[in-house]
Structure 1
Amino acid sequence: MHAWPASEVPALPGKGRDLQIHDTATGRLVTLEPGPVARIYVCGITPYDATHMGHAATYNAFDLVQRVWLDTKRQVHYVQNVTDVDDPLLERAERDGVDWVALAEKETALFREDMTALRMLPPQDYIGAVEAIPGIVPLVERLRDAGAAYELEGDIYFSVEADPDFGKVSGLDAAAMRLLSAERGGDPDRVGKKNPLDPMLWMAAREGEPSWDGGSLGRGRPGWHIECVAIALDHLGMGFDVQGGGSDLAFPHHEMGASHAQVLTGEFPMAKAYVHAGMVALHGEKMSKSKGNLVFVSKLRRDGVDPAAIRLSLLAHHYRADWEWTDQVLEDAVARLDRWRAAVSRPDGPPAEALVEEIRAALANDLDAPAALAAVDRWAAFQQEQGGTDEGAPGVVSRAVDALLGVAL
């Protein structure tokens, strides 16, 4: 599966700062000090209704992570999956009377278009669940053969008790886990499971649903969590720098994935930091496909909204915060974009070197994009009110805003 084209990231004078970021597993800020190649895995979409502002906010957060790393003169190995076979996708295809493969391809293509328009840096490896199946089957067989998985009516389940570190990603107690499992795709009430929290690794073929040859597992399709584990281990290896996604993935998805990987490899942890973006609401409720309360990037673009303004609307909120999309949020972003473009369109301006360092410092401090925006606002206001004599300053600001914030002026 191919990703989307990369926009050029301007090189800035000097060097950026190492990133301090909030790690869900420890509940505190950690300083990330990757090697020459920083490694990040971000969970991708299930392509049946893309791309809403909740998606955009999540991928914007991890785009900033990449930009901070690139500014430190590191390379970045970014991997993202596409869950192109799963119950929600199959249910939507049946509801709409369309082929599930065609639906997945259509929505994945739209997602690529939105990511390109928003100047999100693409992953080096963009892998679909279906194409990952040949690598998933051996992992499930290894877990089963090691006694960390068991069969129940043809389905294969992972035993969470096989991992002594289970629970260290989310930090939740068993009762909270059980509630979230039921809400987020698990089946804690299924009779016969050893532990209500045990997640499915391999679903035996169901009549009328797609299935693949699973070798000794029989025909079927993979569970949600093992998909990402297989892709991450294959392309990044164990102990990569950041596992990212929305806050609703901390449990069960990232918790279960970490346990799968840790049992498979005997190493801990799967990722050095588990980083989660907040949720975006509309009319007082979290945007979700099940509720249908979605604002789509593609619809805004069709309505003539500049993608740079959409991106600024995301950057105006701290990535870990839950926030609400409103018309005013977009109006403020459009006005900010106009002010910034007017400021950099002049032939000279106030010196910009200090501004570049302010942006770097803000982003290195747990991706504080609102603080970075405020710094650019101050420079633009000074430019508007008093101007300056530095002929290179507007160009420096344009390149810094593009390189570090992904906004083309």
Structure 2
Amino acid sequence: MKLYNTLSGQVEEFVPSDGNLVKMYVCGVTPYSSTHVGHALSYVMFDTLRRYLEHKGYEVRHVQNFTDIDDKIIQRAQESGVSEDELVEEFIGDYFDTMDALNIQRASEYPRATREIPRIIDAISGLIDRGHAYPAAGDVYFRVTSKDDYGKLSHRTLDSMIAGARIQVDENKEHPMDFVLWKGAKPGEPSWESPWGPGRPGWHIECTAMSLEYLGEQLDIHGGGQDLVFPHHENEIAQSECYTGAKPFSRYWMHNGLLQLGSDKMSKSLGNLVSVVEALERYSPDAIRLYFLSSHYRSPLAYSDEGAAAVERSLERVRRALIPGNGAGAEVEADTHRVRFAAAMDDDLNTPQAVAALFDLARDINRGRDAGQSVGSGQAALRELGAVLGLTFVDRPAPEADLAATPFIDLLVSVRTELRAARQFALADQIRDGLAEQGVSLEDGAQGTQWQRQTTE
């Protein structure tokens, strides 16, 4: 198995440091608003990576944090007239509800910044003791000049960082790129006691403290969106390796491309969001997952209703392949598709090619069943490979009106079958055409006529 490593800029063979155990840390959300499909893209991708590693026989210890104290949380809580804790609990609940709906497995641990304060303070103290950080006026800053290879993840130099950034002048900093590890308390904001006075942790240090606490000094995989490469992950590497004594913090750095709505990245700050709840009102969880997985994880992806609706329609072919068959002919061959699937996933998690192998298997099952072949082993392979991608093949719930129409559609299909048997093809075609006008398509095969509703969103 090979994975692209952002640190080296190359595709590398994946070899965990501890035999069969894979230690994976994925940066989580800041819970101050509803979980959106941009979040979902990242977590579907890392869920699929974890599923495939487990499929290959690895044990995965997966840690994902919640940044539950932040300027945006404080601001949103004040605007909403609730406490920071109430706001955070609401949106952590929203996160779990929507990720569960998308069939994303729960991480091994979900540490929160506010519950790791002692560990964070220990890490900051260690950095100060080693000469990599310094207190100033109630804050504590990381000294970027103390790390010779600072910038190695984003492949930037300090000079280029300064030239390309709008940096607010801070007389307390030794260097413009020094970043905060501990923020001194401000009136009306939550704070914790520390050796440097009351305050709260900076954004970057929480991930170092949590990964050290739950996964040890070296990770196998550190993941997140491409927008986290700099400054967040760059700063994580610097502070973590300075704390542990330059031991490589993570062996592989993986970053997914970002979801776009129109020409812009989908983000809370831009306000161009589609919540997961909104997406699930229109499309099945399988369709949303498959929409993301049909593009390579490192590529940007544009989200659109037209694209999601097309994926929903294409899924009907796969679901139809799982209709039981009782053919007595030769078994539909699945091994070739298994090999293609594994080869694609081993090639830097090439899910578009893996999805293609899955659809080709579904096509062969449909053809084989219609030709009277046995399809049981092919269907078992389809379910197994689909599960690696987190697909359940469960259709989205039909609206009440559709449920009420189902027995009448079944009756019309039965009448059409009798008309075809009586060679009254004109009348049979009228039923087919009338159903098509109502968004119901028919497909005739050796096992009878199957019908499905066409997605029109």
Shared fold (TM-score greater than 0.5)? Answer: yes
Structure 1: how far apart are the matches of 2:40 and 2:164?
24
Alignment of 1:133-282 (within 5 A): 133-178=117-162, 182=166, 188-214=168-194, 216-282=195-261
Q: Does 1:103 align with 2:87?
A: yes
Check 1:178–1:58 CA distance in 2 against 1; reply closer, same or farther (3 A cut): farther
1:367 aligns to 2:362 (yes or no): no
Greater relative CO, 1 or 2 (CA 8 Å, sep 6+): 1
CA distance in 1 between partners of 2:159 and 2:321 (Å)? 54
Distance in 1 (alpha carbons) for counterparts of 2:163 and 2:279: 35
Q: Which residue identity is paired with 2:261?
A: L
2:417 counterpart residue number: none
Matches within 5 A, 1:8-407: 19-34=1-16, 35-178=19-162, 182=166, 188-214=168-194, 216-301=195-280, 303-347=281-325, 350-387=332-369, 388-402=373-387, 404-407=388-391
TM-score (norm 2): 0.81
Q: Give unpaired runs (5+ residues) of structure 2.
A: 394-457
Give 1:364 shift. 1.2
Percentage of identical aligned residues: 35
1:188/1:197 contact within 8 Å kept = no
The 8 Å contact of residues 178 and 188 in structure 1, kept in 2 or not, is answered as: no
Counterpart-to-counterpart distance in 2, 1:87 and 1:176: 27
Q: Secondary structure at the match of 2:43?
A: helix
Q: 1:316, 1:173 → 2: CA distance?
A: 35
- Give the superposed CA RMSD: 1.7
What runs of 5+ residues in structure 1 fail to find an aligned partner? 1-18
1:382 shift after superposition: 2.7
1:399 to partner: Cα distance? 2.0
Larger radius of gyration: 2
Q: Give TM-score, length-normalised by structure 1.
A: 0.90
Match of 2:450 in 1: none
Deviation of 1:296 (Å) = 1.0
Name the residue aligned to 1:4.
none
Contact (CA 8 Å) 1:188, 1:198: kept in 2 or not?
no
Asked if 2 retains the 8 angstrom alpha-carbon contact of 1:141 and 1:217, the reply is no
Q: How big is each residue's C-alpha offset from its partner over 1:301-338, in whole Å with a ceiling of 9 and x where there is no partner?
A: 2x252111111111111111011101122112211221
TM-aligned CA deviation for residue 390 of structure 1: 3.9
The CA deviation at 1:63 is 1.1
Q: CA deviation at 1:188?
A: 4.8
Aligned residues: 384
